[in-house]
Amino acid sequence: MVTVEIPADMELVYKRPQSLTETHTHYCPGCTHGIIHRLIAEVIDELGIRERTIGIAPVGCSVLAYYYFNMDFAEAAHGRAPAMATGIKRVSPDRVVFTYQGDGDLAAIGTAEIIQAANRGELFTTIFVNNAIYGMTGGQMAPTTLPGQVTTSSPTGRDVETAGFPMKMAELLAVLPGAAYVTRQAVFDPRGIHRTRAAIKLAFQTQLAELGFSLVEVLSTCNTNWHMGVVEALEWAKKHMVAYYPLGDTKVSDGVRALMETR
Amino acid sequence: MVTVEIPADMELVYKRPQSLTETHTHYCPGCTHGIIHRLIAEVIDELGIRERTIGIAPVGCSVLAYYYFNMDFAEAAHGRAPAMATGIKRVSPDRVVFTYQGDGDLAAIGTAEIIQAANRGELFTTIFVNNAIYGMTGGQMAPTTLPGQVTTSSPTGRDVETAGFPMKMAELLAVLPGAAYVTRQAVFDPRGIHRTRAAIKLAFQTQLAELGFSLVEVLSTCNTNWHMGVVEALEWAKKHMVAYYPLGDTKVSDGVRALMETR
Amino acid sequence: MAKELLEGNAAIAEAAIRAGLEAYFGYPITPQTEVLEHLARRLPEEGRVFLQAESEVASINMVYGAACAGARVMTSSSSPGISLMQEGLSYIACSEVPAVVINIMRGGPGLGNVAPSQGDYFQAVKMAGHGDFHPIVLAPGNIQEAIDLVVLAFDLAEKYRTIAMVVADGSLGQMMEPAELPPMRPVRPPAERPPWALTGARGRQPNIITSLYLEPEVLEEVNLRLQAKLQEIAANEVRWKEYSSEDADLLLVAFGTVGRVCQTAVREARRQGLKVGLLRPITLWPFPSARLAELAGQVRGMLVVEMNAGQMVEDVRLAVEGRCPVRFYGRLGGIIPLPDEILPELERLDKEC
Amino acid sequence: MAKELLEGNAAIAEAAIRAGLEAYFGYPITPQTEVLEHLARRLPEEGRVFLQAESEVASINMVYGAACAGARVMTSSSSPGISLMQEGLSYIACSEVPAVVINIMRGGPGLGNVAPSQGDYFQAVKMAGHGDFHPIVLAPGNIQEAIDLVVLAFDLAEKYRTIAMVVADGSLGQMMEPAELPPMRPVRPPAERPPWALTGARGRQPNIITSLYLEPEVLEEVNLRLQAKLQEIAANEVRWKEYSSEDADLLLVAFGTVGRVCQTAVREARRQGLKVGLLRPITLWPFPSARLAELAGQVRGMLVVEMNAGQMVEDVRLAVEGRCPVRFYGRLGGIIPLPDEILPELERLDKEC
Amino acid sequence: MQEEIIISGFGGQGALFSGQLLAFAAMDSGFHVTWIPSYGPEMRGGKARCTVVISDQEIGSPLVRRPSAAIVLNIPSMEAFEPAVKPGGVLVVNSSLVPQRSERTDIRVFHIPASDIATELGNIRLANVVCLGTLVQAIGVVPLEAVEQALDNHLPERHRKLLGANKAALRRGAALVGG
Amino acid sequence: MQEEIIISGFGGQGALFSGQLLAFAAMDSGFHVTWIPSYGPEMRGGKARCTVVISDQEIGSPLVRRPSAAIVLNIPSMEAFEPAVKPGGVLVVNSSLVPQRSERTDIRVFHIPASDIATELGNIRLANVVCLGTLVQAIGVVPLEAVEQALDNHLPERHRKLLGANKAALRRGAALVGG
Amino acid sequence: MAKGMVLIDEDRCKGCGLCVTVCPQHILRLAEDRFNTKGYRPVEVVAPEACTGCALCATICPDVVFTVYRRKRPPQPAAVAA
Amino acid sequence: MAKGMVLIDEDRCKGCGLCVTVCPQHILRLAEDRFNTKGYRPVEVVAPEACTGCALCATICPDVVFTVYRRKRPPQPAAVAA
Ligand SMILES: Cc1ncc(C[n+]2csc(CCOP(=O)(O)OP(=O)(O)O)c2C)c(N)n1
Ligand SMILES: Cc1ncc(C[n+]2csc(CCOP(=O)(O)OP(=O)(O)O)c2C)c(N)n1
Ligand code: SF4
Ligand code: SF4
Ligand code: SF4
Ligand code: SF4
Ligand code: SF4
Ligand code: SF4
Ligand SMILES: [Mg+2]
Ligand SMILES: [Mg+2]
């Protein structure tokens, strides 16, 4: 073991959040799931709610999230995390509940569950990782796959004539009165990462203040199934994903606005 | 049998459409399902497409619609009519396909199916009968039940805190690019009925012109489960439903607008 | 408490409340909607959770969530709705959280009709969705038993951390008969939720509830543990009732509504001089196989009567293993076989065995 | 056509195309995603319909729709996805439209893992969702058979207007072996769709496809018709393979991947002087019960080997009815039992029977 | 002792409710009892009937094909149950709505103009209660007072004002049974 | 005749592909053959192995616990399969990555510096093909030419330019088997 | 002479009364003296001569009870194109 | 004297290179001579003295490899309130 002397006049500006376990993740090198995990953990640390937070992992590449977050966790059936979260939150209203879901999970098989939970204004938070593909099953088309994007199930590129246009979930969910805070962010560079962190924090605060349902859509990459280099994937995403999926808040309820202003 | 002499100078201005069978319906007296059936049948007659139209009945009070429409019909599983319609239309692109769905069917259990079909721009037409209640099962709360409305599953009135606000499906579906024509109409008086008919016609024309998905939300009554008189139900609906659910088009694609202009 | 004239569905719902039900998630479907409606009224009165879900898929996953949080939770539905819950049931089975599910069966397949049926016997006893699992399946024959078995379902579900399913049909759900409700149990306070529950990792290691085990060796171990639990249940929880079986040389086997119809058939057959007995399984899983095997040595033949095309009869045959003839009589489509149809079958059995 | 080295999942997909598949609706899930991916590429090439559905619930209902329209249609999935299809399957069963479903089973229950398993035997053979129905269930033991059975599945589904399900596991799906694809059948033109199909009521009375029959008497009749059809299938379509069974005095019974593993076990056992035979059911429903009953008179004992906790063994016991001992050996969680585990079990059977 | 009573009419005639009254009365009188409805397949309206079994021992089948007593409130019910009543049993016919007369001699038949009597009592919907009075009196298992008690306890709030009329209807029906 | 070969390494070492080459060669040589992969439970990377069974009769189990021959491309594979090879069998070890040596005397062991040879041939990823050459030569069931033929037919388009190098690797591996 | 005329398919009528409320001529009412085969009090025309053939009754009737006729307009002199 | 300092949890590193692209000081690179226990080429600091402790590396690293320190600012004379 190497012990490193930290000079006395150095102060800690970044350390592993307590809300993450020590376990190494199984994610591919450069996968943005890791960044998003970290941001959530940082926010939970900052809000001091780790010991009363219950997370729900989806089926998708982040299916093992429960090994990485240092808190109570459940693993949902594919797409059903919002229903499970509803069940948990309704019987444990003083706990903080969040779901972590991919785009196949949330925007395909789980469409009904997320829309209805949002509409009911369920008091949990959803972190929605949009990487425009089904990562875990090896790169099939997701509801969010961009027009023309090649995947294993759209081998000649997504054909909007037969598969429809990519779904803008943040815009769709914003229509529902039960949704108090809905935003879209991206973790393609440090600035975006900082903003995403702030958004995640606001989402959890929305929950803590019982203002309604909150969701942060995070544009992400999947270099492996996009068949790109890590940096190339970020560049591609910045160029193409952000063009289709505009960043920013799609829904800020009055309550949330008040919250924003008091910060 | 009574034979009636029709004076020679009388011309027929209204007769039973050919697209309805002779079968008497099982609907309660004054139930607006009957009006909507008739309008669909009239439009199909007018467009001359009866012999190439395939309808899909939902699970709901209109589950037996296949006995009343004089054309090929299937009975779908609860909420899955859009998936079934997708299956039919994809393998029979030159046929006209429509689903007839209630609010429990379309806006609760079938949320995912209708949203995804609309998003893919499936080339079928949906007639969505919003009567703010589960009629067939005896009057439980629907996703569209109004705030405070008493039903057997919201015995003290719909509580928006726990059940959320009623879902405005026409507005929600309008967000999706695949939806070419989405409108909300009401059959509470002859004027509304005429407008609804025109909307249904435009919806079928949208399909015929292959412009995308089309949906007509029809505000309706369920005097039986609202525990009101027939006329009272219409009055209540005109006052309360229309206030919450604004009438009119929520989505008219460019193609549909062109269609409207050429009419 | 004195007996009251209770309707089956309402009795089931109220029994659940008395048993300490904390939360109900469900979706309307005939012929069980009265369960939901009763709870819609009563649970908020009691300050507990009632939520009408958007579908049965959502219901069962809400149940899954609430169960993970350690709450006493239940859903109810009828055949098509239960089919939609199969994936969720499989997750619950593997995750070993307790859940109570009521299936008031109706005529099938497909949309079928809302008349009484026992067509989901196989679905209930052979599996919880995909994978190897048997929920505990309880089949009341009358309303008092329905009440008692609902209470038992919660206790068994929690004791074994498993799914306890109560199956009945619309005739039990809609009939009325005098019965006594149990006293109201206090609701378990959230602070006393079980140690494995997801309650927030305060001062302890995080709890994880999952059904994912990537390594086959590990998943095999999980499965062996599940199987051991099932064996324990099979050893301890078999329940059935016998009527006039001591001296019987012909045996009727029937459950639920048909079971009680067969009680009448036994009486009438005895009046005609046939020494008929009846075994009415109360737990469909675990099944009273050992007792049936024993009786196979005593009787000349068995007649299994069901409201389906012959499902439980397979379990009877498995128990009997050819030691006596096992005949079947069934009605389909929502028709309840009546004593006057069963008697001729008994006479035939009497002659042929 | 000459044999090619084919991967199981791709072979299944291509066989479906050769059999005249007009439309595929499916949702990705390991270990069958290659079926979907192959079809995603090939069907559009052939000008046919490929659609990735939003879920398995949607997939099966799209299949239901396309089948109602009279098209040759198929979906594929793996265990949790098949659980989600249970309601739709029940509707299809009652509506009597032909549909082909592939289940490449994985370890369960719940999310389990993606390793090979036979945990869904009961789910496949005992029912299609709720109500009384058995799909035809075909279990290939190798890739050539997978190809042939996929083609057969379409033919049987159409002949009997029923569900034909092909069940295999991920090891068959991912292995390669030489096999021959059938010639490409011409796709049936839309104009030649069956007379019952929903094609538009041009010059004929409307066709109605439903599974709703409100009157119990009518639903009973529908069910009796379904049961008669099932009996016809049971009488005509039982398929199995035997290996060294002529002189066997011990019999292995196993299906699919385990069936072929047992072929090796038979060889090795014979090398050790045990007169072991093997019966490998190819149709799991209808089950080769009659032949097993016959063999029960010949052999001293049977050993059923499965990748589950013991499911098909029940059908073997039902067939044998106690006429010879039936033992079980199983591995769980995605582990394939190998010949060297099966041999000691055979030796034990030899000693004890 | 076991009585198996079917009460049959169309929806809205109160067949189900009068069966429940009988069931309450039987329960309060210390009997085992079951009440089971059966609706027609029609979603609304259509036939409505119930079976009440009253016994001094545990009740097996709550349904019977051949009742020991029946009330028929309309023509289809008459057609279905007139032939079904067990020999020695009782049949009460609302003759206001059912013109045909039973020819059976092996049962006791009461043709009573129940709807007319009910109209007379101020509410045509009391016809079922009139018939119930006749039936209860005829089979004699449950005292009429027990049914009155059941009315006291279970008449829905919104019909409370008709309590007196209900009791009168019951008594009028009962009075039609000759000593 | 039946040969059961396991080729094992970690993801990316080409274990699966060289097994397929062998399978193609065996098929073209008229044998029954099965190829079956097994991945580790890890989603990405991790172990990758396949089993190839070559037989002159119908093949039962496509999986074996004790292969008649094995190629081990990394240390965990060595640990797993060195003891497993059947007596009389063949073990090919990529000694560039696996330092330990097999002590077994009942099998034929080839410790070959496959990665080094591959690097020498211009691409370290050819190590698996070097090992395959050794194995094919050692077991002698399939002619080396059949494997070359398989390379000709099945080397993926994007690796086409490495065809020559692949063949060279194969031959280099084969040459290591002493007469 | 009546401008319009309606035929009533009486046995379809469920007596809901909707047509009664919309008829601008107020000439429809529910029969007070009889039931149809369904058991409902069917609609009837009180003053057929007042019917204008406007078809509003048919427009609202959920049960397609009405067939409506209207007197042809007498051939009008063709308007002169402007 | 360096303004900042990073600790590297080397075995967590997957060598994705993201930190390398964002470090404003260009002092990070992937090791060319070795692998970590995961088999990746881990990140290393080329010129520790140039580190500003800006933590951008930690911000983007998906695998939480970095711990970052920054030199405390010497106590500044308190600003006079305006
Ligand atoms: C019911 C069911 N259907 C399908 C699957 C297979 N499956 C696992 S993950 C996944 C999609 C994952 O994609 P996404 O949600 O976008 O997450 P990502 O892996 O991209 O993070 C699918 C289809 C499953 N496990 N269960
Ligand atoms: C899977 C499933 N769940 C529930 C039901 C029961 N069910 C039948 S109709 C219906 C709701 C009908 O309401 P709606 O769609 O609004 O139609 P309406 O009757 O009001 O016209 C429900 C819940 C069912 N048949 N299947
Ligand atoms: S497959 Fe894609 S989403 Fe999954 S871990 Fe790898 S990079 Fe991330
Ligand atoms: S219950 Fe309501 S929706 Fe159904 S037929 Fe009656 S009025 Fe119409
Ligand atoms: S056509 Fe017009 S005027 Fe004539 S009855 Fe109908 S609504 Fe009245
Ligand atoms: S609207 Fe139609 S059904 Fe209603 S009363 Fe008039 S004619 Fe009869
Ligand atoms: S803290 Fe800033 S300067 Fe230092 S290594 Fe990280 S990115 Fe570079
Ligand atoms: S970003 Fe993290 S994982 Fe990637 S190279 Fe840098 S330290 Fe390693
Ligand atoms: Mg994704
Ligand atoms: Mg409705």
pLDDT (0 to 100) of residue G81: 46
Q: Do chains A and E touch (3 or more CB pairs under 8 A)?
A: no
What number is the average pLDDT over the span E115-135?
A: 94
Inform me whether the pLDDT recorded for D55 exceeds 50: yes
Nearest CA to ligand 5 atom 5: G51
pLDDT (0 to 100) of residue E30: 95
Q: What is the CATH number of the domain that holds H66?
A: 3.30.70.20
Residues in contact with B21: Cβ distance below 8 Å, sequence separation at least 6, in sequence order:
B67, B68, B69, B70, D206
pLDDT (0 to 100) of residue H81: 47
If you write DSSP's letter for every residue of C196-212 in order, what string do you get?
Answer: TS-S--SSSPPPEE--B
The residues pairing with F110 across neighbouring beta strands, listed in sequence order, are F92
The 10 Å Cβ neighbour count of residue D213 is: 23
Q: B43-69 burial, b for 16+ CB within 10 Å, e for fewer? A: bbbebebbbbbbbbbbbbbbbbbbbbb
Alpha-carbon gap, residue A63 to A59, rounded angstroms: 5
Q: Does B123 touch chain A (CB under 8 A)?
A: no
Does residue H79 belong to any structural domain of this protein?
no
Q: Does D23 touch chain B (CB under 8 A)?
A: yes
| Domains along chain A with CATH numbers | 33-146+163-262 (3.40.50.970)
Give tens-digit pLDDT for H1-51.
789 999 999 999 999 999 999 999 999 999 998 888 888 899 999 999 999
If you write DSSP's letter for every residue of C130-168 in order, what string do you get?
Answer: SSS---EEE--SSHHHHHHHHHHHHHHHHHHTSEEEEEE
State which fold the D4-197+225-236 domain adopts: Rossmann fold (3.40.50)
Q: Are strands F2-10 and F69-72 parallel, antiparallel or unpaired?
A: parallel
Does residue G76 belong to any structural domain of this protein?
no
Does residue H78 belong to any structural domain of this protein?
no
Alpha-carbon gap, residue C163 to C89, rounded angstroms: 8
Alpha-carbon gap, residue B139 to F147, rounded angstroms: 72
Under DSSP, the state recorded for G1 is: -
Alpha-carbon gap, residue C31 to E119, rounded angstroms: 35
Q: Does C190 touch chain B (CB under 8 A)?
A: no
pLDDT (0 to 100) of residue G76: 64
C211 against E179, higher pLDDT:
C211
Q: Do chains D and A touch (3 or more CB pairs under 8 A)?
A: yes
- Outline where D205-311 has alpha helix (H): 216-236, 256-271, 289-298
Widest pairwise Cα distance in chain B: 64
End-to-end CA distance of chain D: 48
Give the pLDDT band of residue E158 (cuts 50, 70, 90).
confident
CATH 3.40.50.920 in chain D, residues?
241-352
C246 by Cβ neighbours in 10 Å (0-12 / 13-18 / 19+) ranks as exposed
> For chain D, what is the mean pLDDT?
97
Beta carbons of G60 and B35 less than 8 Å apart? yes
The 10 Å Cβ neighbour count of residue H8 is: 19
Q: How far is CA A253 from the centre of its chain?
A: 20
Torsion (CA) B28, B29, B33, B36 in degrees, nearest 10: 160
Give the pLDDT band of residue H82 (cuts 50, 70, 90).
very low
Q: Are strands H43-45 and H28-30 parallel, antiparallel or unpaired?
A: antiparallel
Nearest CA to ligand 6 atom 4: G16
Q: How far is E70 from chain D (nearest CA, A)?
A: 23
**Cβ of H15 less than 6 Å from ligand 7:** no
Alpha-carbon gap, residue D209 to B74, rounded angstroms: 5
The residues pairing with G70 across neighbouring beta strands, listed in sequence order, are B11, G4
pLDDT (0 to 100) of residue C222: 98
What number is the average pLDDT over the span E142-164?
A: 92
Instruction: Give the ipTM.
Output: 0.97
Q: Does C44 touch chain A (CB under 8 A)?
A: no
- Closest partner residue to D37 (CB to CB) among A108, A153, A156 is A153
Beta carbons of E44 and B28 less than 8 Å apart? yes
Inform me whether the pLDDT recorded for A143 exceeds 50: yes
Beta carbons of A16 and H16 less than 8 Å apart? no
Give the pLDDT band of residue D353 (cuts 50, 70, 90).
confident
The structural domains of chain E, with segments of one domain joined by +, span 2-175
Q: Which residues of G touch B7 (CB under 8 A)?
A: 5, 69, 71
Q: Does A119 touch chain D (CB under 8 A)?
A: no
Beta carbons of C57 and A75 less than 8 Å apart? no
Q: Which residues of F touch C215 (CB under 8 A)?
A: 41
The residue whose two tokens read 């049977």 is D302
- Closest partner residue to C201 (CB to CB) among A72, A80, A83 is A72
Q: Which of D130, D137, D220, D332 to mutate to test the interface with C (most CBs of C within 10 A)?
A: D130
Give tens-digit pLDDT for A232-262.
999 999 999 999 999 999 999 999 999 999 8
Q: How far is C22 from chain A (nearest CA, A)?
A: 8
Q: Which of A120, A160, A244, A245 to mutate to test the interface with B (most CBs of B within 10 A)?
A: A120
The CA–CA distances, whole Å, from D142 to D6, D166, E12, E55 equal 11, 12, 64, 64
**Cβ of A151 less than 6 Å from ligand 3:** no
Which 3 state secondary structure label does DSSP give C315? helix
Alpha-carbon gap, residue D176 to F36, rounded angstroms: 6
Torsion sign over Cα C179, C184, C190, C194:
negative
Two tokens at B60? 């709901």
Q: Do chains F and D touch (3 or more CB pairs under 8 A)?
A: yes
Residue A30 one-letter amino acid: G
Interface of D with C in 39-78 (CB under 8 A): 57
Alpha-carbon gap, residue B83 to H82, rounded angstroms: 68
pLDDT (0 to 100) of residue B195: 98
Count of positions (residues) in chain B: 263
Q: Does B243 touch chain G (CB under 8 A)?
A: no
Q: How far is A172 from chain D (nearest CA, A)?
A: 16
Write down the CATH number for the domain with range C241-352: 3.40.50.920
Alpha-carbon gap, residue A216 to A201, rounded angstroms: 10
> For chain A, what is the mean pLDDT?
97
Contact F129, F170 (CB under 8 A): yes
Write down the CATH number for the domain with range F2-175: 3.40.920.10
Contact D324, D316 (CB under 8 A): no
**Cβ of G43 less than 6 Å from ligand 6:** yes
Q: Which residues of A touch B176 (CB under 8 A)?
A: 164-165, 167, 172
- Of A30-39, D335-344, E1-10, H66-75, least confident by mean pLDDT is H66-75
Torsion sign over Cα G21, G23, G26, G27:
negative
Nearest CA to ligand 1 atom 23: D28
Is omega for the bond preceding F76 within 30 degrees of 0, making it cis? no
In chain A, which residue's Cα lies nearest the Cα of C25? A87
Give tens-digit pLDDT for C203-260.
999 999 999 999 999 999 999 999 999 999 999 999 999 999 999 999 999 999 999 9
Q: Which residues of A touch C95 (CB under 8 A)?
A: 74
Beta carbons of C209 and A74 less than 8 Å apart? yes
Two tokens at C109? 């397949």
CA of A30 to the centre of ligand 3 (A): 9
CA of A156 to the centre of ligand 3 (A): 22
Beta carbons of C219 and D107 less than 8 Å apart? yes
Q: Which residues of C touch F42 (CB under 8 A)?
A: 214
Alpha-carbon gap, residue F108 to A54, rounded angstroms: 57
Residues of chain B with pLDDT under 50: 1
Contact B47, B78 (CB under 8 A): no
Inform me whether the pLDDT recorded for E48 exceeds 90: no
Q: Which of C24, C49, C54 to mutate to test the interface with A (most CBs of A within 10 A)?
A: C54
Q: D90-116 burial, b for 16+ CB within 10 Å, e for fewer? A: bbbbbbbbbbbbbbbbbbbbbbbbbbb
pLDDT (0 to 100) of residue E41: 60
Does residue G78 belong to any structural domain of this protein?
no
Which 3 state secondary structure label does DSSP give A79? coil
CA of A241 to the centre of ligand 9 (A): 13
Q: How many beta-carbon pairs below 8 A join chains C and D?
A: 241
Q: Does E103 touch chain C (CB under 8 A)?
A: no
Inform me whether the pLDDT recorded for C1 exceeds 60: no
Residue D334 one-letter amino acid: G
Give tens-digit pLDDT for F120-165.
999 999 999 999 999 999 999 999 999 999 999 988 888 888 899 9
Nearest listed ligand to the Cα of residue H6: 7
% of chain F beyond a pLDDT of 90: 83
Q: Which ligand 2 atom is the nearest neighbour of the CA of C111? A: 25
- Closest partner residue to C260 (CB to CB) among E33, E37, E60 is E60
Give tens-digit pLDDT for C287-340.
999 999 999 999 999 999 999 999 999 999 999 999 999 999 999 999 999 999
Task: Name the residue among C152, C148, C173 with its Cα closest to residue C164.
Answer: C152
Counted domains in chain G? 1
Q: How far is E41 from chain D (nearest CA, A)?
A: 5
Q: Which residues of A touch D110 (CB under 8 A)?
A: 77
Does residue H80 belong to any structural domain of this protein?
no
**Cβ of H6 less than 6 Å from ligand 7:** yes
What number is the average pLDDT over the span A213-239?
A: 97
Q: Are strands G43-45 and G28-30 parallel, antiparallel or unpaired?
A: antiparallel
Q: How far is B117 from chain D (nearest CA, A)?
A: 9
**Cβ of A131 less than 6 Å from ligand 1:** yes
Give the pLDDT band of residue F44 (cuts 50, 70, 90).
low
Inform me whether the pLDDT recorded for F40 exceeds 80: no
The CA–CA distances, whole Å, from B17 to B38, B54, E141 equal 7, 17, 58
The residues pairing with B100 across neighbouring beta strands, listed in sequence order, are B127
Q: Which residues of C touch B79 (CB under 8 A)?
A: 55
Give the pLDDT band of residue E44 (cuts 50, 70, 90).
low
